[in-house]
């Protein structure tokens, strides 16, 4: 047997790197495909002659600061904005936004300055008749509101621009990226903790048996029990697991022990994986210690019986099996 302090780290390292990689790539992709400057550069600009759903750059040249109406169900308001079609003409469209959205506040604060210095903002164009997120009654509202005015027929009735949708999508993306990154970090931290735990277990074993330092082959030669398939052995008074991670448990300090199987099922029907662990309770410790070992399928529990028989004979004070009390 060779000392392997990094045993089990790949179970944490691989998913950790994977999740962090996804988080980083998602961040790069998000930054490259969103934002008003990127949209404007790619020609994704709101133009009266070519309105379509999706995130667009809206070049605002004027805004009426008082909301036209409050949108029930969204906790937002509808404002009227004038925008530059980038061809010397101008269009008008409803802008849905939370009253305290910083982008809206900036537009209102600029006021008449927008005529000389238009403000580019990112919006999501939404079809007013959309069953998913369209504003109910938007078309009739616009038609009735501007009937008989200079803007009759000039304000888009089939589309409106939404700051709320942009903000909601942005924060949802931030949250998903953050969660993915945190999962990756947690996995990497778990890998570090695995190495530290392995190190502590090796050191505890060497403290109990100084002659094993640098000569672990004696463990297998002198083991009173050894199952290579499970990766379990008993050396003198210690139960050792070495295939998943490295554990060294002093059986003289154990009060109870039982086998626990964690099964993962697809759609609740097909078992896709099984993981085995010995649940060990030590003297003067309420917290159960988990000792992972190799699961070999349905026969794992039967394979463990010689170990349990040895422990029952040698350590009669150890309670074997799960006690529901």
Task: Name the CA dihedral angle for 59, 64, 70, 73, rounded to a multiple of 10 degrees.
Answer: 10
17-38 pLDDT, tens digit each: 999 999 999 999 888 878 899 9
129-183 pLDDT, tens digit each: 776 667 888 899 999 999 999 998 899 999 999 999 998 888 899 999 999 999 9
CA 223 to chain centre: 44
51-75 pLDDT, tens digit each: 888 899 999 999 999 999 998 877 8
Please say whether the beta carbons of 83 and 59 come within 8 A.
Answer: yes
3: buried, middle or exposed (CB in 10 Å: 19+, 13-18, 0-12)?
middle
Task: Give CA–CA dist 10/187, Å, rounded.
Answer: 10
DSSP three-state, residue 209: coil
Among residues 238, 239, 246, 241, the alpha carbon closest in space to that of 194 is found at 246
Helices (runs of H) and strands (runs of E) counted in the chain: 8, 14
- Strands of 74-165 (E only): list them: 76-84, 90-97, 119-127, 159-162
Q: What is the mean pLDDT of the chain?
A: 89
């Amino acid at each position: 047997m060779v000392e392997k302090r990094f045993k089990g780290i790949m179970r944490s390292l691989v998913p950790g790197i994977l999740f962090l990689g996804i988080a980083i790539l998602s961040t790069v992709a998000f930054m490259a495909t969103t934002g008003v400057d990127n949209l404007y550069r790619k020609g994704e600009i709101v133009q009266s002659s070519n309105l379509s759903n999706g995130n667009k750059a809206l070049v605002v040249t004027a805004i009426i600061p008082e909301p036209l109406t409050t949108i029930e169900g969204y906790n937002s308001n509808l404002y009227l904005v004038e925008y530059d079609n980038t061809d010397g003409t101008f269009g008008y469209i409803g802008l849905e936004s939370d009253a305290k959205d910083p982008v809206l506040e900036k537009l209102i604060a600029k006021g008449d300055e927008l005529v000389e210095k238009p403000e580019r903002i990112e919006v999501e164009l939404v079809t007013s008749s959309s069953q998913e997120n369209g504003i109910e009654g938007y078309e009739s509202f616009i038609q009735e509101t501007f009937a008989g005015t200079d803007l009759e027929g000039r304000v888009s009735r089939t589309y409106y621009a939404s700051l709320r949708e942009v903000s909601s999508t942005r924060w949802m993306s931030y949250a998903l990226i953050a969660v993915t990154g945190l999962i990756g970090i947690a996995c990497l931290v778990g890998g570090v903790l695995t190495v530290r735990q392995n190190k502590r277990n090796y050191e505890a074993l060497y403290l109990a048996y100084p002659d094993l330092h640098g000569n672990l082959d004696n463990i297998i030669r002198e083991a009173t029990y050894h199952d290579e398939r499970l990766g379990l052995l008993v050396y003198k008074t210690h139960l050792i697991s070495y295939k998943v991670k490295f554990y060294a448990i002093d059986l003289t300090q154990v009060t109870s022990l039982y086998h626990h199987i964690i099964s993962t099922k697809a759609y609740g029907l097909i078992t896709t994986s099984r993981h085995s662990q010995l649940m060990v309770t030590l003297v003067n410790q309420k917290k159960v210690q988990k000792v992972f070992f190799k699961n070999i399928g349905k026969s794992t529990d039967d394979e463990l019986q010689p170990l349990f028989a040895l422990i029952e004979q040698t350590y009669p004070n150890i309670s074997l099996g799960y006690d529901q009390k």
